[in-house]
Structure 1
Amino acid sequence: MNSLADIAPLLDRNAESPLWTQFRDSLRGLILNGELAIGAKLPTEAELGEQFGISRIVVREALADLVRSGLIYKIKGRGAFVSARERDEDFVSTVLGFSDEMERKGRTVRTQVLVQELRAPTTPEAHALALAEGDQVVALKRLRSVDGELQLLVETAIPADLAPGLHRTRLENRSLYDVLRRQYGLRIVRAERWIDAVLPDAETCRLLELATPEALLRIESIAYGPSGRPLEHYRALHRCATSRLHVQTTT
């Protein structure tokens, strides 16, 4: 195999991000862009270290993270290989946000904000979020793609008193849950979710660029903080032609 360093982005030793994350992201990009084929064998740790001018410790840490995200796998005595890209989506059964869960799997999420406003809640929103008369919500409508493929149309409502100014915060291509954690100290610890199948209307077909209507999974969620107060209500329409929702249960 030719040197991967010849086709990967250069590592910047003056950057704030550590070398192992730069190296990991370089390999991730080669895999997701198809420059490393499914099943391809990676060079050894020693060879990768020599090609990129980094230590084996740096290489090992990056490869371990790629194994955790499912982009590569290792066979004892044979080395590391490129995995088939993961298409099962676990966000519906975890309290991770959609962006956080996709990032953990090494996938690229893009978010287009269609609506971001401060307003009175609808009746379902007020009921789900246990709001009183006169309370307001920050309402969002976002279109989300995964690895360049439109996947999700989401309408979200968050109590305005919990996130003052959120309606003015830049959310394009950002994780909402990350913003809520970092900017407002809001942590989601559990959620209730309901899933059914629906056919999209003409406007949804236009937004998701569906040439013909196809069945979508409709997900409704109410998420709660440590105190038990509802923090978020959303309704999402999820394309399922090229992916599956994965739910893990325990006793």
Structure 2
Amino acid sequence: MSEVTAQDVAEESAMKKKQSAAEMPKPVEGSAPINASAHTPLYHQAYLVLRDRIVGGDYPFNTVLPSEAKLCEEFDVSRITIRRALNELAEEGYVTRQQGRGTTVCYEMHARAPKANFDGLIENLLIVGKRTEIELLAFEMRKAEAIVASALELREGDLVQYVVRRRRLSGAPFSHVVSYVPGDIAKGIGRKDLSAKPLLAILEARGVHMTSARQTVTAVAASPDLASALEVEVGVPLTRVTRIVHDQNKRAVEYIVAHYRPDKYVFEINLRRAEDSHERKWIA
């Protein structure tokens, strides 16, 4: 890891003076990818931009990043700022830094991240379950709160099975899933099964034939409890999925609230071009 020198400190001081004297920058094409007027420290902005490039594949595995001098020029910041951003990337396992060899990307999880597409929902969930490790965090029978009762078409206070599980891939957590199943359907499902198999597989083995699901996907900031469970910082964006699964009798048999790390789990939608008498459009 590179050391901070007196020259670095002098550069940082000069850069701060330059930024404090400058007017608020206007975003224009080709401008630096960070905002000097934002409350977020410059080094952390640079870290976030570089991390997103790594996770997004702009800097693939084993790629050597641009030199500190080139990054300083691109981001319009001092060497000490870029160095701090690169050191943070190294501490979190995205890159390795070696004197004389530069900074090399060592992150390659994205290429192996589980994928789920919307046209094969149930099958994809079963496949993901087989590829990952399950940790059972909570398991109990409880009375359904209003939102759960509504989702499962039950009366408030009816018994449901409440389960919280975390999934890991190659040792790293990527999902935190809370599921609710009506009490009569969940009868006989125990900790041993839930610690070893996907819940969908358990239900199907018990004769529950699932035929449809309604799902919503959005983005949320990680709360303290989710951040701890998924080993990320509080406030980091997460993918939130809510899903209600129905059986062949159109009965709601499972309600799920799941949070995924978007750097380790990918949703994919297959589209096709359709045309009717009025318009052409993309449909899933």
What is the TM-score with the length of structure 2 in the denominator? Answer: 0.53
Matched, 1:219 2:241: yes
Q: Match of 2:202?
A: 179
**Per-residue displacement from partner, 1:133-186 (whole Å, max 9, x unpaired)?**
45210110111112322110011000011121225553113211111111x211
Q: Match of 1:115?
A: 138
Q: How far apart, in 1, do the equivalents of 2:212 and 2:172 lie? A: 29
Q: Match of 2:222?
A: 200
Counterpart code for 2:134: T
Counterpart code for 2:269: V
After TM superposition, what 4+ stretches of structure 1 lie above 3 angstroms from structure 2? Answer: 84-88, 167-170
Distance 1:168 1:145, change over 3 A: closer
Q: Which one has a larger percent helix, Structure 1 or Structure 2?
A: 2
Does the aligned pair in 2 maintain the 1:205–1:212 contact within 8 Å? yes
Counterpart code for 1:87: A
Q: Which consecutive residues of structure 1, in runs of 5 or more, have no partner in the other structure?
A: 1-37, 39-83
Q: Which consecutive residues of structure 2, in runs of 5 or more, have no partner in the other structure?
A: 1-60, 62-109, 273-282
Counterpart code for 2:128: M
Pick the aligned partner of 1:87 from 113, 120, 138.
113
1:132 Cα deviation after fit: 2.2
1:87 Cα deviation after fit: 3.2
Does the aligned pair in 1 maintain the 2:176–2:230 contact within 8 Å? yes
Distance 1:97 1:141, change over 3 A: farther
Larger radius of gyration: 2
Q: How far apart, in 2, do the equivalents of 1:94 and 1:114 lie? A: 28
Number of aligned residue pairs: give it: 165
**Per-residue displacement from partner, 1:26-58 (whole Å, max 9, x unpaired)?**
xxxxxxxxxxxx9xxxxxxxxxxxxxxxxxxxx
Distance 1:151 1:136, change over 3 A: same
Distance 1:147 1:173, change over 3 A: farther
Give percent identity, aligned residues only: 22
What is the TM-score with the length of structure 1 in the denominator? Answer: 0.59
1:94 Cα deviation after fit: 2.8
